[in-house]
Amino acid sequence: MRKEKLRMKEQEKYDVIKELVDHNGNKNRASKKLGISRRQIDRLIIIYKEKGKSGFVHGNRSRKPANTINPSISKDIITLYRNKYYDFNFNHFKEFLEEKENIKVSYKYIYNTLTKEGILSPKARRKTKRQFTKQKLLQEKKINLAMSEEQITEIIHHEIALEDSHPRIEKPKYFGEIIEQDGSIHLWFGSKKTCLHLAIDKATSTIVGAWFDYQETLNGYYHVLYQILMNYGIPYKFFTDNRTVFNYMSLNPNKRTSEKDVLTQYGYACKQLGIALETSSVSQAKGLVERTNGTFQGRLIQELRLNNIHTIEEANKYLIEVFVPNFNKKFALDYKTFPTVFETTPSQDVIKLYTCCFISQKN
């Protein structure tokens, strides 16, 4: 058996202990020199007397760690990503490796494995405003060499403070207090763009309704309303954009003749059910649903492709039965732990009356 050569620290220990034993030296001095306790010095003396130099070779030398991952798994991960999950972000890919491929590895392992192969996550190139500000300031630093580190740090903090200085709206305390709604037209599946109608509770980030239609339509929002009424009850308020589905005045504000003219068909249904309807032309005002649309575009498109879904009927079935429940488990707070302002689910007759477009098509 080939003798292992001592490494630098191991050689130092051996030399100190050998000197100590051979010349009956001072144990306290040896302890101080090696930075270890007297008890460890006594243990090393025993090792030296029993095994000599070979006893100072670390016991784990040449052994693979117990948690070492088989190299073939790395190859499987690379192959799966390139051929099957190529448009998934790395976190989403990790989830599907565990659920569908029975491969359980850390995010760091996936990241290192793929980036070594020159594979970047689809989200890797997205730069936040903070990162952009920092990068810009670092470039300025290279140009202006006279600027000190303290000045650079002060400017960065100032820029970030300005970015964060916009007024924040207080988060609702109750489930159902504010439901943000929006439509996102995108190439979700197949070869034609469709519109995802989405409703999300602002307090818990729970998706309470979702539906695909070919355009952003009243029919699409009726489907969403139906899901909310059936699954949760009557919410306190909807917060939406200024589309004519919600706000008659956005079509032609000069034609208003009475208060009745302001109510759209959807607005009338909300009024009769006791749901407040607030609209805004500022997209940032309903930032939660806007961000959620972005998350859906980074996950739902990939899952629809993976499941060979090409029709709107299949897409809605997968959306409601699979994607939304999984999304709520991963990203939403448990709404059952929140106080609620949802009123009891109305009767089927009432639901049919105020979601008539949807019901008539369903029947």
Mean pLDDT by 10 residues, the chain (363 residues): 71 88 87 89 89 79 63 88 92 92 90 87 60 56 55 58 58 93 93 94 95 92 93 94 68 50 78 89 83 92 95 96 95 94 87 63 45
207-213/237-240 β-pairing: unpaired
Distance in angstroms (rounded) separating the CA atoms of residues 202 and 183: 16
What residue segments make up the domains of the chain, in order of their start?
8-56, 71-116, 129-163, 179-362
Under 8 Å between Cβ of 67 and 80: no
Q: Which fold has domain 179-362?
A: Nucleotidyltransferase; domain 5 (3.30.420)
The pLDDT of residue 159: 55
**Residue 314, exposed/middle/buried by CB under 10 A (0-12, 13-18, 19+)?**
middle
pTM to 2 decimals? Answer: 0.67
Tell me the per-residue pLDDT of 229-262, one tens digit each, with 9 for 90 and over.
Answer: 999 999 999 999 877 777 655 445 555 544 445 5
Under 8 Å between Cβ of 58 and 6: no
Angle between helices 38-51 and 8-22 (to 10 degrees): 90
The pLDDT of residue 169: 66
Tell me the per-residue pLDDT of 262-297, one tens digit each, with 9 for 90 and over.
Answer: 578 888 888 889 999 998 887 777 889 999 999 999
Helices assigned H by DSSP within the chain:
8-22, 27-34, 38-51, 71-83, 90-100, 107-116, 129-143, 149-163, 218-231, 265-273, 287-306, 312-318, 324-331, 348-354, 356-362
The pLDDT of residue 251: 47
Within 13 Å of residue 43, how many CA atoms lie on the same side as its CB? 6
